[in-house]
Structure 1
Amino acid sequence: MKPNYVFLLVLCCILSSVSKAKIAAPAGSNGFRVRAVNLGGWLVTEGWIKPSLFDAIPNKDLLDGTGVQFKSVTVGKYLCAESGGGTILVVNRTDASGCGTFSLWRINENTFNLRVLNRQFVGLDTSNGRAGVNLVAVQNTPGISETFQILRNSDDPNRVRIKASNGLFLQAKTEELVTADSKGNEGWGDNDPSVFIMKNTGGLHGEFQVTNGYGPFVAPKVMKKHWKTFIVEEDFKFISRNGINAVRIPVGWWIAYDPNPPKPFVGGSLKALDNAFKWATKYGLKVIIDLHAAPGSQNGWEHSASRDGSQEWGNSQDYIQQTVAVIDFLTARYAQNPSLYAVELLNEPLAPGVSLETVTEYYKAGYEAVRKHSSTAYVVMCNRLGPASNTELLAMAGALKGTVVDVHYYNLFIDLFSNMTAQQNIDYVYNERRAELSAVTTSNGPLSFVGEWVAEWTIRNQTKEDYQRYAKAQLEVFGGATFGWAYWGFKNNVTGYWSLEWMIKNGYIKL
């Protein structure tokens, strides 16, 4: 009988080992791990990736979401919405931050709505039933009375006049009285109360800005050329020959309405995505569709196509239902394509503006939308950024089959990394990042995915060897993710370290 006991013991050990191996590997994938690259800046515009895309926009420094401040040359103080909105405009602030910074909604190159801190719009006072000459900021939706032209001095573009919808210019009569009743004059001197010094505080350079900036006649030509040339078939060939087995493709919600999406977005990105699937199939690559920009913006950043930095996704059930419909459309279109590997429901929702309850509700609905068309595509759920727990999605996602939790790891953007040396950054990856990834990589939960990372940091003038060691550390640690990882991104027209193509060609990364 003793040999039988030995046999059973050995058999149990083998079965235990096999069971553990199955737990560690993605379900049904035979141990396949995604080694992907993000095709960022292609179907969802990010101006920092390709700044030249904006070069030919008239008044390109006054795009949607740009912050502007107006200092009266006669009073010497800044135009402000009293209390941040809801009442009159004044010219009594020495500090223009907050209520003295207006966010532009661009109508054309010279015509705008001015949104104030509390998200109301500057306009002529219509409380008496008709437009007067006094200025208020009370409307939540802009109309004709909330429309203004910014006219710039040709010799000094920062000297401006602001023309109201009544055809007259704003003027600062006193610190407490701003009216739209000046005819202006031919001069731009410091004695004219209709003259203001405009200061630009910066803004966004995303899909909304580029399409609305060029307008409905030029934008389609510009964007179609960009989609046709920024990523091409040869790129997929290069990717497949250099150790990458998948692409993560950021898309915007308007793609579901192609070829006639809501303005200012333009049609054509869906055809580009079709081409991506065709090329992926030809070169043996998997595709992860990533909904990078949701209606209303889930984080207020340019890469979510926010108009003015506002984060409104999740505030309305309409937005959630629209977003589920986009996921349904995309999955239905590509469910039978052999290259579809996963659908990511939403990129980087930002806490606390997007609550856990809201994102959980959406993820469950998005999951069902994917499963309606595909039983095999993975459903990727991105962690919220900001003050949110790294593990908050594990219980919900773990109860659903074929789910993945996406985490993004950048040694950038926060003060913690600002004074770190190269070795400290590398040690941080081996220690803190490994621990963070381990916390979301559980044996009986969803798979883990480092959906964005990059071999870039805040320090400068480091050696090539430092970058190589830093990239190697991340590849080693993020290789522990049970779904895989995706480098951000493939191309970047400004900085090489953000481009995996450049990193491979120049010997910084070898896969």
Structure 2
Amino acid sequence: MTMAYYSAILSSSCLFWILSFSLVSPQDLPLKAASLGNWLLIEGWMKPSLFDGIPNKDLLDGTHVQFMSIEQKKYLCADNGGGKSLILCGSSESNWETFRLWRINETFFSLRVSNKQFVGLENEGEGDKLVAVSTSPKSSEIFQIVREEGNNYQVRLQASNGQFVQVKSDTEITADGNGSSWDDNDPSVFNMTIGSSLQGEYQLTNGYGPDKAPQVMKDHRNTYITEEDFNFMSQNGINAVRIPVGWWIMYDPNPPKPFIGGSLEALDNAFKWSEKYKLKVIVDLHALRVSQNGYAHSATRDGFQEWGSSNIQETVDVIDFLAKRYATQPSLVAIELMNEPLSPGINLDDLKKFYKDGYDAVRKYTKDAYVIFSNRLGGDLKELISFSSNFGRVVIDFHMYNLFWEGFNSMTVQQNIDFIYNNRASAIKSVSDQGPLVFIGEWTCEWKVKNASKEDYQRFANAELDVFGRASFGWAYWAYKCDSNHWSLKWMIENGFISLS
């Protein structure tokens, strides 16, 4: 026998050992997981104090604003939603009167209109008339929002030519004002209304800026979730973690601005701690570049959902990176390819193409890890069933909250519990009976019931644990830690609302 022969045998044995070591046995299922939300992917509502140090924090990326001419009592708007001039519209707010902020710094912004163009000066800054035609912001599409001292809502807009935007008529909006006063009859004075806003990772890091954001993010990642949390979970009936990450993790330690490096190191630590405390890990690609749903948790800049066929390969590249890095980790149980794609914003055929390519990327490195397909928000509950049958070790993720639908607003305690035992149980069974493994990837013990007692919450939680425990792959509570107590599995366990023993 040659040394080459023995070397080949040894290499084959090592490969077999690695694959066998990472194999998920039936005893590992169903999972009882906690989602580590707001750790490696910021969701501001879960810890609002993270944003406290940002100057002008009411004007973050994606904030909706309207500008009403004080003199004319009408709103600035993009004619036809964009592609034409800015004009004055009616005295009430609507979509055309709404601008989404792209924050340059605490006082300078680009303004994006409903058709996704940016407000700027005509002829690429050579003229003084305001138009909304550019599809990417340039220097002539940057404005300073100047607030009146002592009145945050009375403002002027200073254009790139140094002049102030003023109203000359309903159809003539120009940047040639000198801003001589704050009087009500000054055509350059506007009342700014601040509407909906976003508090995601983009808003946090861009809000603090490159000088402060690195320390803010480092401190947060090092303290929000620690090794002790993994120990706590292992001691309290949790056997897995679902870890949301953003697309920029593959570029760590130097991701594209404004994102801050360090999430990859934290994810490495999560695998190390999971192995130590015998927890399984689901890596969940929660935020995609240009956003799959427009929500803050997708790290969108301005709330537009723009992911589509042209973004498939770049997203597969992220999955490939994650699979290659963690495929041989004993704790890896699954990779979730995309969180909450939006229907009808994302075409089902595009989604299936991505799921196939993402599945193939995972299988390049592991035959054992499960691949999770997330059902589209607002889509048919069964739209992925026949498609998923083409693959092995595939799971379909459904999110089941007794929230976000007006029908829940008036339900009593018992009606909520009955909904779990009837509607939710039936849905889980109907999908399971057709073959694929089912994962209730997000649920919580929060609801719309007012003044519910601790006993009410306990009854509701027990119903959810009973029914969601029937899902063949298991469930993941959203979230492990959160400032809102009933959303925090740690708080619920510590305070006797939930027991997983």
Task: Tell me the TM-score normalized by structure 2.
Answer: 0.94
- Sequence identity of aligned pairs in percent? 58
Partner of 1:423: 414
Partner of 1:159: 154
Separation in 1, partners of 2:81, 2:349: 30
Contact 2:108 2:142 in 1 (8 A): yes
Tell me which of 483, 490, 493 is aligned to 1:501: 490
Partner of 1:90: 87
**SS of 1:343's equivalent?**
strand
Partner of 1:491: 481
Tell me which of 352, 355, 367 is aligned to 2:344: 352
Do residues 480 (structure 1) and 470 (structure 2) align?
yes
Partner of 2:5: none
Contact 2:24 2:368 in 1 (8 A): no
**SS of 1:42's equivalent?**
coil
Partner of 1:75: 72
Separation in 1, partners of 2:430, 2:277: 35
Partner of 2:360: 368
Deviation at 1:92, TM superposition (A): 3.2
Deviation at 1:427, TM superposition (A): 0.2
Deviation at 1:447, TM superposition (A): 0.8
Deviation at 1:141, TM superposition (A): 1.0
5 Å matches for 1:383-394? 383-386=375-378, 388-394=379-385
Deviation at 1:285, TM superposition (A): 0.4
Do residues 211 (structure 1) and 205 (structure 2) align?
yes
After superposition, the Cα gap between the structure-2 partners of 1:225 and 1:300, relative to the gap in structure 1 and judged at 3 Å, is same
The CA deviation string for residues 148-188 of structure 1, in whole angstroms up to 9 with x for no partner, is 11011121011111000000000112222111001112x31
Contact 1:113 1:146 in 2 (8 A): yes
**SS of 1:449's equivalent?**
strand
Separation in 1, partners of 2:281, 2:133: 47
Deviation at 1:31, TM superposition (A): 6.2
Do residues 433 (structure 1) and 444 (structure 2) align?
no
After superposition, the Cα gap between the structure-2 partners of 1:42 and 1:170, relative to the gap in structure 1 and judged at 3 Å, is same
Number of residue equivalences: 478
After superposition, the Cα gap between the structure-2 partners of 1:130 and 1:116, relative to the gap in structure 1 and judged at 3 Å, is closer
The one-letter code of the counterpart of 2:207 is G
Separation in 2, partners of 1:51, 1:341: 32
Q: Indicate the larger mover: 136-145 or 501-510.
A: 136-145
Contact 2:64 2:100 in 1 (8 A): yes
Separation in 1, partners of 2:81, 2:96: 5
5 Å matches for 1:273-284? 273-284=267-278
Tell me which of 353, 360, 373 is aligned to 1:381: 373
Contact 1:80 1:93 in 2 (8 A): no
Tell me which of 460, 464, 471 is aligned to 1:470: 460
Partner of 1:9: none
Task: Tell me the TM-score normalized by structure 1.
Answer: 0.92
After superposition, the Cα gap between the structure-2 partners of 1:27 and 1:389, relative to the gap in structure 1 and judged at 3 Å, is farther
Tell me which of 158, 167, 175 is aligned to 1:172: 167
Do residues 335 (structure 1) and 333 (structure 2) align?
no
Deviation at 1:28, TM superposition (A): 4.3
Partner of 2:306: 312
Q: CA RMSD in A?
A: 1.2
Separation in 2, partners of 1:357, 1:342: 23
Partner of 1:134: 129
Separation in 1, partners of 2:171, 2:374: 48
Partner of 1:53: 50
Partner of 2:9: none
Contact 2:89 2:97 in 1 (8 A): no
Separation in 2, partners of 1:431, 1:305: 35
Deviation at 1:88, TM superposition (A): 1.1
**SS of 1:178's equivalent?**
strand
Separation in 2, partners of 1:76, 1:484: 56
Deviation at 1:32, TM superposition (A): 2.5
Deviation at 1:406, TM superposition (A): 0.5
Q: Where do 5+ consecutive residues of structure 2 fail to align?
A: 1-22
Separation in 2, partners of 1:332, 1:432: 39
Partner of 1:10: none
